[in-house]
Chains A and B, each alone.
Chain A
Amino acid sequence: MERRHLSLSPSAGRYATLLALAAVPVAVLAVFFVLPVIGMVGRGFRPEGHWDVGGVLEVLRRPRVHRVLWFTLWSSTVATAFTLALGLPAAYVLHRLALPLRGVVRAALLVPFVLPTVVVGVAFRELLTGPLSWLSIDGTPTAIIAGLVFFNVAVVIRAVGAAWEGLDVRPAEAAAALGAGPFTVFRTVTLPALRPSIVGAASVVFLFCATSFGVVLTLGGLRYASVETEIYLLTTNLLDLQGAAALSLLQLTVVVTLLGIGARLRPQRASTQRAPSRPRRPRLADLPQLTVTALLLIFVAAPLAALLVGSLRTEGHWTLANYRALTSTGSHQALLEPVTTALDLSLRIAVDATSFALVLGLLVALSVSRRGTGHREGRAERRVRGTLDAFFMLPLGVSAVTLGFGFLVTLDRPPLDLRDSPWLVPIAQALVALPLVVRTLVPALAGIDDRQRQAAASLGAGPLRRMLVVDVPVLWRPLLASAGFAFAVSLGEFGATSFLARDENATVPVVIYRLIGHPGSMNYGMALAASCVLAATTAVVMLIVERLRVPSLGVL
């Protein structure tokens, strides 16, 4: 129990600040998430205009629902475990060791995040039925899990890496000087300090896995149904809104439970020390981590290489024809606008979505993490913060189909007639990115000791200056990392976008789906080329983000 100061009861003023900070994000989430989801789930509960709770509960008794739930839980757990096992060593190598090209590698690892699942499915199957056919895992849960790891490993590397980079090296050095071996140092010093970001990243990865849609369908060959694919089937095909509502509630319950567990695992207070390390040269002791990272790179690079090769070949010879075709509308007019137009639009939407996500995420992170040491935090206050924190993670736990249909049925009349608003797409994408942003920013913010701000204040710094000298230096890296995430999420988002995007302004993933769904080998080649362009764009944007911070590192 830390009680260095005599307790001052939490003042109403602190509550007011907390609520004021949270007000805007809460309002946005209420309108663009809670309302639509309630609208759709509500229809399941009131099929003929009157309540029928029994019917919904009846759905949960179906044996198929049990199978679906079990598959979702175990496949996501295994995939999360593998993602952590591969991602943590890579986070260390790419953020703590001075390796050539590490910026490029870090940027490249974010690429899978934006690739449309159909395209990744194509690349994976090319591998699994070709060079890797001896594994005979095509169409098995193993293939699904491999796909999930492929998509999500960047989350662990980015989020944990950013924390690792900002970690004070002195405690570890002290422990080593006292005779602790590298493993003991890691277990007793480094791991506890990283725990908030690891748990944060793991919970995001788990939610991404549990709600992944395309991977399960494309790599599992329809033999495996997850909660997400089942909701899709029930809503878009069977119009069984009762069933969909039951599964949506089940999904939400699981998500909330997991968030609760995650919140308990996360220590309430992170380390307050800060003396960022410089990357050091790799040593022999780093060999295991380097090996894992190398394996990971091969694992990520192989499907991407298959994709690149596919995009450069037409009818058996090498050519750039697929890329040249991107300025056209495809064979048989598969598209209404050329891919280049879609790319232009995708980038603009991504900039908007990133700004939304960062502004909202920062507000949420501030309201969730800002705690004083000058008083004992009340239990109620902590509970409010915990609830807020979980609230903003919810968008990850709800099917894009439920949300998409929800938009249509609830935001359809004044004063909320927003169905046709061009802002719907960037806002929806920002909501998808928001949990990632929050999860990246909160650990960093929580690590700031309020006494630093107080010290600054006592030295005469005003609020703005306090923020500049205390908060900004700590937030700088996580903010960039989360900007990268938000940008990548926006560029690659398909589920919600395909619902909301208008035909005249389709984004690149939507266009790729159109291309791949139209016969003609040129369209297929164009789809691969467009995927490569999408991947390259992401990598370049990430690289610029990485580059921009180099001068600032040099200065300090």
Chain B
Amino acid sequence: MRMRALATVGTAVLLATTGCSVSAKEDSTPAGTPSNQASQSGGSTAPKISDVVLVTHDSWNLPKKLVAQWEQQTGYHLVVRASGDAGKLTNKLVLTQGNPDGDVSFGVDNTFATRALKADVFAPYTPSTLPAGVSSYDVAGDDGQHLTPVDHSGVCVNVDTTWFASHKIPAPQSLDDLLKPAYKNLFVTPGATTSSPGMAFLLATIAQYGDGWQDYWTKLMANGAQITDGWDQAYEVEFTQGGGNGKRPIVLSYDSDPAFTVKDGQTSTKALLDTCFSEVEYAGVLNGAKNVPGAEAFVDWLLSPQVQAKLPDSMYVYPVVAGTALPAEWAKFAIQSPKPLTVSPTEIDTHREEWLQQWSDVTSR
């Protein structure tokens, strides 16, 4: 008797599987989805030589149409392997050095570039025609031999201008201001140990205060700063302009954010331009790539006018190619810092562990 019920379950499971398989995707990307049918056809999904495999972080994003256009023009097929943030990506590349899980990488940033270069992750490649402005973002010492700049962004303290207006308090302007009693319990930032913007903010304070940065953080914590694990928690949950009805009107985020809080032709947030740290993201051909020409073509394509123009809307970053037109809302509301704070990649690489250790100690006291 029970066997009948067992059979019913079996049938239901089978139906569920086949039912799902029937409603397969319309477009023809070979997703390699494991279904029960796939087991019969068997075989691994070894990439064909026309595949270009991109190893990147999970903020990677470009319009499908644009990718399809490139695939049509070149005959390559782009396979994307995205996971984690810039740190996880870099370490993955370092660990798989020489036998990488792809051909080309995008997303190693200036805070991790030295580590990747030291580990010999990237093969030499410089696009034959570099558009104007690109080389000014090169990693010092590499000078574009391995890593090609693709985009840049500013990580800044942002304020909810409507909140400050309605509370009749002047908004803070600088890092120093965040220590004032008027802004007690109003600031939230993602942590340096778990988030790349959080790390950028730590570097901003190091650039600003030098050896006094630990003292600054001690005071910042004493003034009720909140630390979350990720940017999403800080912005979406705790920030007053985020999705979750947060309670804090000062948040660590990007200089382009004011372009995303526009309503009725007005933005409700502002980036504090004296608090910005500049982040640059790079692309490069991987050492041991199976499809070197495809990887090189991909790097070239990232600097093409079409891709550069789509970077703001797709990945919330600025193009590196000079003269690329920005979307209307960016042109109007996203203001870049004229003199962002910087720390050299080599210095970051040397001190990262020590700084993060000290930061953890100061913030968890």
- Known contacts A498-B84, A519-B235, A524-B243; A548/B12 CB under 8 A: yes
B200 part of interface (Cβ distance < 8 Å): no
Contacts of A344 in B (CB 8 A): 20, 23, 25
> Does the CB pair B236–A237 fall under 8 Å?
no
> Does the CB pair B21–A348 fall under 8 Å?
yes
> Does the CB pair B260–A519 fall under 8 Å?
yes
Residue positions of B touching A, CB distance < 8 A: 1-6, 8-9, 12-13, 16-17, 20-21, 23, 25, 29, 31-36, 38, 44-47, 58-61, 63-64, 79-85, 87-88, 91-92, 94-96, 99, 101, 115, 191, 193-194, 226-233, 235-237, 242-245, 247, 257, 260, 313-314, 316, 352-353, 356-357, 360, 363-364
> Does the CB pair B80–A503 fall under 8 Å?
yes
- Alpha-carbon gap, A490 to B82, bound state (A): 20
13 contacts between A and B (CB under 8 A): A43-B95, A118-B232, A217-B230, A221-B226, A237-B352, A344-B25, A351-B20, A408-B96, A503-B60, A503-B80, A503-B82, A518-B59, A524-B236
- Alpha-carbon gap, A545 to B6, bound state (A): 11
- Contact partner of B5 (CB less than 8 A), chosen from A222, A225, A502, A548, is A548
A91 part of interface (Cβ distance < 8 Å): no
> Does the CB pair A520–B260 fall under 8 Å?
yes
- Alpha-carbon gap, A235 to B87, bound state (A): 9
> Does the CB pair A122–B80 fall under 8 Å?
no
A480 part of interface (Cβ distance < 8 Å): yes
Contacts of B8 in A (CB 8 A): 548
- Known contacts A422-B34, A426-B34; A552/B5 CB under 8 A: yes
Residue positions of A touching B, CB distance < 8 A: 43, 64, 118, 121-122, 125-126, 129, 139, 217-218, 221-225, 233, 235-240, 310, 332-334, 336-337, 341, 344-345, 347-349, 351-352, 354-355, 405, 408-409, 412-413, 417-423, 425-426, 468, 472-473, 476, 480, 483, 498-499, 501-505, 513-514, 516-521, 523-525, 544-545, 548-549, 551-552, 555-556
B258 to chain A, nearest CB (A): 11
- Alpha-carbon gap, A235 to B75, bound state (A): 37
Known pairs A217-B194, A332-B313, A519-B260 / 14 extra A-B pairs, C-beta < 8 Å:
A43-B95, A225-B364, A236-B85, A237-B352, A333-B64, A408-B95, A420-B47, A422-B34, A472-B3, A502-B32, A503-B82, A519-B316, A555-B1, A555-B2
B284 to chain A, nearest CB (A): 18
> Does the CB pair B16–A125 fall under 8 Å?
no
Contacts of B91 in A (CB 8 A): 235-237, 239, 405
- Alpha-carbon gap, A411 to B60, bound state (A): 25
> Does the CB pair A476–B2 fall under 8 Å?
yes
Closest to B198 in A: A222
Closest to B199 in A: A237
> Does the CB pair B34–A352 fall under 8 Å?
yes
Contacts of A332 in B (CB 8 A): 313-314, 316
- Alpha-carbon gap, A499 to B244, bound state (A): 28
- Known contacts A236-B88, A504-B31; A222/B231 CB under 8 A: no
Contacts of B194 in A (CB 8 A): 217, 222, 233, 237
A295 to chain B, nearest CB (A): 26
Closest to A235 in B: B91
> Does the CB pair B353–A238 fall under 8 Å?
yes
Contacts of A224 in B (CB 8 A): 364
B82 to chain A, nearest CB (A): 4
A525 to chain B, nearest CB (A): 6
Contacts of A237 in B (CB 8 A): 87, 91, 193-194, 352, 356
Contacts of B5 in A (CB 8 A): 476, 548-549, 551-552
> Does the CB pair B99–A412 fall under 8 Å?
yes
- Known contacts A122-B237, A222-B227, A504-B29; A545/B92 CB under 8 A: no
- Alpha-carbon gap, A423 to B44, bound state (A): 9
Contacts of A412 in B (CB 8 A): 96, 99, 101
Contacts of B353 in A (CB 8 A): 238, 240
Closest to B95 in A: A409
Contacts of B46 in A (CB 8 A): 417, 420
